[in-house]
Structure formats: structure tokens, C-alpha cells
Amino acid sequence: MAAASTSFQSAPTQTNAHRTSSASTDALLDVRALSLAFQTSEGELPIIREVSFSVAPGERVGIVGESGCGKTVTGLSLLRLLPEQTARLSGQILFEGRDLATLSARQMRAVRGRDMAMIFQEPMSALDPVFTVGEQIGEAYRAHFPVDRKEARQRAIAALAEVGIPAPERRCDEYPHQLSGGMRQRVMIAMALICQPKLLIADEPTTALDVTVQSQITDLLRTLSERTGTALLFITHDLGVVAETCTRMITMYAGEVVEDAPVDDVLMKPRHPYTSGLLRSLPSLSARRSVLPSIPGRVPSPNAMPAGCRFAPRCSYAAESCQVRQTLVALGPQHAVQCCRAAEISLPGAVN
Amino acid sequence: MFQSRKLSIIVRRLLQAIPVIVLSTFIVFGLLKLVPGDVAVTLAGDNASDARIAEIQHIYGLDRPFLVQYGSWLWKAVHGDLSSSLVSSESVLSSIERCLPHTMLIVVLAMLLALVIGIPLGIAAASKPGSWTDGFVMTIASLGVAIPNFWLGMLMVAFFSLDLNWLPATGATPISEDFWDAIRHAILPACALASGGIAEVARQLRSSLVEILSSQQVRTLHAKGLPPSSILWRHGLKNVSVNLLTVISLLFNRMLAATVVVEAVFAIPGMGNLIVNGAIHRDFPVVQGVVFAMVLIVVTLNLLTDVLYSILDPRIS
């Protein structure tokens, strides 16, 4: 697989020896110190702080964390889909070397759907109810390629077949409400992949679906990613899905990246107490025992963030040194963690 | 399948219209009987004896029981006979034929004005919510809702007719006689009637468009890389067309009712005028006939609206 190229930008004072300049230029997507704040009547509300990570071509990366950790807004900020009047972005979003954060609206439109596509949590509300699925898929193609309606329709039918929808010629002329939830998400995937983008952002694509359909969609995404070489940024709170689908896992907590590591490493030996807590509270991955462990407390709200380590109030390993602001530190060529006690403590993982 | 679906909507709505027609004419008939006053007294003239009044009541069948009177009216109406006016003895049907075109002309003209002005205002406001344009449009719309149409009518008569002498202040010309003169007479009443409609269309269109444009389905359209123009004109408008249709059909009904006042201000011999005079003289065949005609128009329009719903929104069947 493609080497996980990670660059850590959040610690200008702690420039680590493992970061090489070549790693950054090889990356398809290189996010550097991306921060986002929403403007509200009570002032600016910081949502994500100096998030840095990268995705190599064809790589499948999972972003995990509880609700309210900033996973979804991170995905939306990459495509600049947040309302421009209220969302203030800073930092760099380098996509194939171009900084998306500085592009004009017109240039950004040319990237959306063409080079970087996105699918969403609820396929029913994400599709337009008064247009047929064929029209909606074809339109995504016509937005970037000069073809007529007839050819766009043929491409839409082919795309529907590609995502495993039976009788695509018939389904093409149906409306979203005539399809099942799983079918609708397949339509979303067909629409997102019709221009053969280099990166697909999947924002909790299985959360709103039946359990039986969830694994079909996950399998489909992995298969399509492998076959077409489209990189996948899989945003989910389901660590089991990440374990099955992705090669690297980024843990987010309270708007920050707290751990970034290959999936195999992190499942066995997580280095951040939060990742460890997430892994242990997973029924399918945790050891069989009567009580499922959980992380006490909840994610702090954006206007009440702890000054030091943001996880410290919920962390059983918290010490004096956690009271200062933490930075992402490389532990190895592919493993980084934002925990000052990472070297001292040994954390339980999911796989022993 | 598509055609039979539409046919079943039409049949269902027509069947529902029957009790509506019976109930509404029955209630109006009952109200006319409840208020004091009797057409027989009017017809008998001044200083008529009680015996004379009773005689007239007997001639017109006014001494029969209430339900019998209503039943006989309904029976004739079902057979296409709306009786004659008790006062002028003109056939009610020909009165309606004479008055309806005047009313429909100002209602249709007012509706066109409401749409032609209201829709662009609503779109302009919704495409930049919170902007200066938005604030301006919404202020205009609030004014339009708040200003009574009869007052606006009088103001316009004072200005456009009396001061500038551009348009006739009162009266109407049948559209069959002189088309342009009919339009000239209809402009002021239509403007007075349209003011509330413009506001209503602009406000409703703005709010439903703003809602659609900030929805998840539109976020998907942005994620596909569509230009904002295509998102607004193609997806936005098609999604709000059902709401707009609802506004139009409600507005049409309300305008039809509002003509009673507007026709009085502009002295137009329309349906409003007809029913008001009928009610003053307790001329129940006239009142019943007008109500009957109005209910038929409203039911037909609602039917048309329902069929259009099923064309515009594939989810409605």
C-alpha cells in the first residue's frame, strides 16, 4: 500500500526529525494547521484547532471520535462547504500542491465533485426529492465535462451499475423516495465517483442505514477505492468500520487531532488514552467481559475548553504535566500522538 | 399508471365537492333566514297591509317551511335553474353571466401582478438573506400585508384618477365590448387587490427558498460543483414550486372574497356588488346563486391545484 505520509505542523517549536519534506509533497491531501471558528452573536466560537494530517494517493484514512469532536466540520471545511459568511478558516489545505483555502469560488467549484467528492450521513435528505436519480448523477458529470444529456444519462446508468444497483436503466428514472436507504447511499456514491475524483470524503455514510446494509456500503466503498485508486477519508464513530476499511486512523478529540497512526498499530497499541478508551468501549473489539468500559464525562463544549490537554478532565492518566497545552509529537515514522505522557504509560488496546 | 393516478385524484375531489356545495349553500340560506327582514315586505311596497304581505309570501313560496324552501332551490339548481331575482325578476344565471367577467378580470389581473412582482422580489431576497435587498423586500412585504386594500384603493383613486387623471376612478366596461377600456378600468382595482398578494408571494417564496437553499440536499449540489445559478434556478425553484402553488391557490380564493370590498370602492358591477345587493334585499335566489357559482369556481381551482401538485412533486399521489 501507499506509504502513510504524515506531516505534523501543529508544533512549530517541536519540529520533529521524522518529518521529511518529501513526505509532504507526495501527499494527495496535506492539511496544515487548519483551524475553524464560527462567528456568532457572542463572538467567535472555535470549532477545530490547528488540525494537521495528510492523505496519500489511494490511501484509506479513517477519522474517528465522539459526536462533537469536529470530524464532520473538518470534512466539510476541506471542500469549503461551510457557510462563508459565518465560518472562518485558517491554515492550509494543500491538495496536489494547491492550497484550496486560497482558491476563488469558481476555482473551488471546479475541484468539488471533480477532484474531491463527498457523501453524507443521510442519503434521503442529501438527495433532491424532485429530480430522478439519473438526472442528479448525470448533472454531477455535466458540471465538469461538456457532454449532452443523452451521454450523461448513459454515464449515470453505468455508474449505477458500478455501485451494484440492479436494473440500472429502470432505477435511473426513479425518484429518491422510491429507493431504499441502502440504494440511496449507493446512488450518492455513484454520483460522487462519476467524475473519478482522487479523494472521496465519506461523512458517516452508514450511520443512518440498517445494520444489515451498513457492511454492504462499507465493503462497496473499500472495493471501489481499491479498484479505482480513489483515496478515501472515512469519517465515522464506528472503529470497527475503520478497522475493516482503512489503513490509517486519525483520532480527533474536541477539535484537535490527538493520534495519527496505522490501523494495525493503533488497534494493538494505542498511545493516546482517548483512543484507548474508544477502542475498549467497542463491544466487537473489546475482550469478553461483563461490563463494557466507557469514558466518563463528555466532550467539552467549544466555549468551555480546558486550557491544557483538552482530554485531561476525563483522563484517568492525567498528571501535572497535562495542564499545559499539548502538541502532536511523532513517536515513530508513522505514529504521532498528542499526549505528553505517551512514553510513560502503557495503554490497553482492542486486540491483544 | 400516471394517467390513472391523476384521474382518480379528479374523481375523488369531485365527489368531495358535492357535500361542500350543499353545506355552504345551506349555511348561507340559513343565515339569510335568521337575519331580520323579509323580501316580501320590500316587494309589497310602503304601507302595505299584513294580508298583502302574506299574499306575496304565498306567491313566492316564502311561507313554506325552511327545509322545503331550501330543498326546492337545491332541486332546481341541480337541474341548472338558479331561479330569478325576487326583486328585479332577472334570471340569476344571466345576472352572474353579466357580473362574473368584471370580477374575474380584476382577480386575474391582480394575480398576474402579484406573481410578476412578488416572485422576483422573493427570489432577490432569498438569494442574499440578511442583505440590504432582503431587508428592503421584507419591509415592502410587511407594508403590503398591513395596508388594507380598500384604503390603498381610495388613495390610488385620489392620486391617479383625480390628481393625474390617468385612469378612470370608478365603473367598468365589459371586456367583450372594448378590451383596452376594460383593462384601463380594471388596473386600479387590480392594483389595490394585488398589494397584499405581492407581499404574500414575496414572503412565502423567500422563506421556502431560504429553507431549501440551506438544506442538506443543496449542500450535496455544492459538493457536486454546481454553480449557484443552477442551484437556485433549477433545483431551488423546482423544490419551492409546490409551496408557491399553495400560496397562489389560497391567494386566489382570498382575492375572490376581497372583491366584495374592492368592487364597492370602485363601483364595479361585479359578483361582490351582486351578492351585497342581494343580501340587503333578502333576495335569496341571487345570494344563493352567487355563493353557488363561487363555490364551483373555488372547487375547480382546488382541483386544478391538486392535479398540478402531482405533476410538480413526484412524492404526491
Write the DSSP string, chain B: -HHHHHHHHHHHHHHHHHHHHHHHHHHHHHHHHHSS--HHHHHH-TT--HHHHHHHHHHTTTTS-HHHHHHHHHHHHHTT---B-TTT--BHHHHHHHHHHHHHHHHHHHHHHHHHHHHHHHHHHHHSTTSHHHHHHHHHHHHHHHS-HHHHHHHHIIIIIIIS--S-SS----TTT-HHHHHHHHHHHHHHHHHHHHHHHHHHHHHHHHHHHTSHHHHHHHHHT--HHHIIIIIIHHHHHHHHHHHHHHHHHHHHHHHHHHHHHHT--SHHHHHHHHHHTT-HHHHHHHHHHHHHHHHHHHHHHHHHHHHH-TT--
- A-contacting residues of B 170-199, CB under 8 Å? none
* Interface with B, mutate which of A127, A130, A173, A200 (most B CBs under 10 A): A130
Closest residue by Cα to residue B169 from B289, B28, B267: B267
Residue-level pLDDT at B21: 84
Q: How near does any CA of chain A get to the CA of B126, in Å?
A: 15
Whether the per-residue pLDDT at A352 is higher than 60: the answer is no
Half-sphere exposure of B30 (CA within 13 A, CB side): 7
- Rounded to the nearest integer, the mean pLDDT of chain A is 87
Q: What is the pLDDT of residues B14-44, one digit of tens each?
A: 888 888 888 988 998 888 878 777 777 777 7
Phi-psi region of A59 (alpha: psi -120 to 50; beta: other; left: phi over 0): beta
Q: Does B246 touch chain A (CB under 8 A)?
A: no
Residue-level pLDDT at A5: 41
pLDDT bucket at B250, cuts 50 / 70 / 90 = very high
Residue-level pLDDT at A152: 94
Residue-level pLDDT at A229: 92
Residue-level pLDDT at A289: 58
Residue-level pLDDT at A16: 39
Q: What is the dihedral of CA A236, A242, A246, A248, to 10 degrees?
A: 90
ipTM of the complex: 0.86
User: For residues A267 and A278, what is the distance between their CA atoms, to the nearest angstrom?
Assistant: 10
Q: What is the pLDDT of residues A266-280, one digit of tens each?
A: 988 999 999 999 988
Q: Does B317 touch chain A (CB under 8 A)?
A: no
Alpha helices by DSSP H, listed for chain A, are: 21-26, 71-78, 105-111, 123-126, 133-142, 149-162, 168-171, 181-193, 211-228, 239-245, 263-268, 273-280
B66 CB burial (10 A radius; 0-12, 13-18, 19+)? exposed
Q: How near does any CA of chain B get to the CA of A39, in Å?
A: 15
Of the ranges B2-6, B113-117, B142-146, the best mean pLDDT one: B113-117
Whether the per-residue pLDDT at A1 is higher than 50: the answer is no
Cβ contact, residue pair A177, B219, below 8 Å: no
Q: Give me the phi and psi of A93, to 5 degrees please.
A: -120, 90
Q: Does A114 touch chain B (CB under 8 A)?
A: yes
Mean pLDDT (whole number) for A204-228: 91
Whether the per-residue pLDDT at A60 is higher than 80: the answer is yes
* Interface with B, mutate which of A86, A128, A135, A195 (most B CBs under 10 A): A128
pLDDT bucket at B280, cuts 50 / 70 / 90 = confident
Range name among B73-87, B163-177, B203-217 with the lowest pLDDT average: B163-177
User: For residues A272 and A270, what is the distance between their CA atoms, to the nearest angstrom?
Assistant: 6
Cβ contact, residue pair B225, A129, below 8 Å: no
Range name among A35-39, A125-129, A172-176, B161-165 with the lowest pLDDT average: B161-165
Cβ contact, residue pair A113, B235, below 8 Å: no
Whether the per-residue pLDDT at A22 is higher than 60: the answer is no
User: For residues A136 and B178, what is the distance between their CA atoms, to the nearest angstrom?
Assistant: 51
pTM: 0.82
Of the ranges A60-74, B26-40, B277-291, the best mean pLDDT one: A60-74
Q: What is the pLDDT of residues A91-108, one digit of tens each?
A: 999 999 899 999 999 999
pLDDT bucket at B66, cuts 50 / 70 / 90 = confident
Residue-level pLDDT at A287: 57
Residue-level pLDDT at A140: 94
Whether the per-residue pLDDT at A12 is higher than 60: the answer is no
Domains of chain B (ranges, CATH numbers) = 2-78 (no CATH), 93-280 (1.10.3720.10)
Per CB-CB distance under 8 Å, the chain B contacts of A192 are 223
Point out the residue among B130, B217, B225 whose CB comes nearest to the CB of A126. Answer: B217
Residue-level pLDDT at B2: 54
Q: Does B215 touch chain A (CB under 8 A)?
A: yes
Angstrom distances, CA of residue B229 to CA of A54, A82, A145, B213, B291:
33, 18, 18, 12, 46
Q: How near does any CA of chain B get to the CA of A349, in Å?
A: 37
User: For residues A108 and A104, what is the distance between their CA atoms, to the nearest angstrom?
Assistant: 6
Domains of chain A (ranges, CATH numbers) = 12-115+197-337 (3.40.50.300), 129-195 (no CATH)
Per CB-CB distance under 8 Å, the chain A contacts of B220 are 120, 126-128, 188, 191
Point out the residue among B214, B224, B314 whose CB comes nearest to the CB of A143. Answer: B224
b/e map B89-103, b = 16+ CB within 10 Å: eebbeebbeebbbbb
Q: What is the pLDDT of residues B69-96, one digit of tens each?
A: 888 888 888 888 888 887 788 888 889 9
Q: What is the pLDDT of residues A283-322, one digit of tens each?
A: 765 556 557 778 888 888 888 888 889 999 998 888 888 8
Cβ contact, residue pair A113, B224, below 8 Å: yes
